[in-house]
Structure 1
């Protein structure tokens, strides 16, 4: 199993959030919001006339990953909190990386903004992203149908 990105980061969560704010503002965001609940976190910004939302589950502090040791023993409350905070810091670093990478890819012309942020775009009048809205439909479609072979997409044939 590979190590998680920023698994050992010491960067505080607030600094990662501030970094995202600075990054999106530098790329033209006109609005920025950061929201948190006990188990959810979100970054919401407006850019190029689009509302963009990154909503992510955050680690549950009561999860055994934090409350138990690798051998199954109970961790102290302070050790559990330390492990949970580390996991949260890691998630925020990963989210900052994803947003930076997407904006950099747009800036250098690898992708276009509307395509790169489509799944995270909130349509006017809606409270969910396009990605959230179609996720279940996609799952059902994939259960019912087989994928088309890749070769025909390249103009070739699927015959061997």
Structure 2
């Protein structure tokens, strides 16, 4: 049986965001920012000379229902809103636990902050490492060929030279 703690049922989304902000600040992160756009929320911060951004999709209603004004429609909307709120509360709680684990590993010297959050490092141009690598990895799996990573500052072909 799963306890409410592990399900995240007893934590509000706001409590999880506060926990994330405090955990990042305790680790030494600065400029912690939470944002929301469309069906996604994000937490961004600076630490170790890098910028990081973690984007998390949130569940949303699939549209507004026609309002007929009867009690059944009202109860259905309320039930749907509660399901969405609970799912998003659990997502924020899971993110808080994940960030705690990553920060704990970095603090213990098991990993570095950058290795733990590598996918979320923001590169020049405002894309994350994950944004840049995901299509390359997908293509490599579809083709069965090893991807090549080259330094865009070097002329084509010079990145494979080992000095």
Bin the TM-score by the shorter chain.
0.7 to 0.9
Q: 4+ residue stretches of structure 1 with deviation over 4 A? A: none
* Residue aligning to 2:132: 133
* Residue aligning to 1:95: 95
Report the count of equivalent residues: 133
SS in 1 for 2:54: strand
Residue 119 (structure 1) aligned with residue 119 (structure 2): yes
TM-align CA RMSD: 2.2
Larger Rg: 2
2: CA distance between counterparts of 1:19 and 1:107? 17
User: Which piece of structure 1 moves more, 53-62 or 77-86?
Assistant: 53-62
Deviation at 1:145, TM superposition (A): 1.2
Query: Unpaired runs of 5+ in structure 1?
Result: 64-73, 148-160
Query: Unpaired runs of 5+ in structure 2?
Result: 64-72, 147-163
Deviation at 1:8, TM superposition (A): 5.4
1:67-87, CA deviations, whole angstroms, 9 ceiling, x for partnerless residues? xxxxxxx86100100010000
Contact 2:8 2:94 in 1 (8 A): no
2: CA distance between counterparts of 1:9 and 1:80? 16
SS in 1 for 2:43: strand
TM-score by length of 1: 0.76
1:36-93, CA deviations, whole angstroms, 9 ceiling, x for partnerless residues? 1231000000011110110011112228xxxxxxxxxx86100100010000000000
Residue 13 (structure 1) aligned with residue 18 (structure 2): no
2: CA distance between counterparts of 1:8 and 1:101? 16
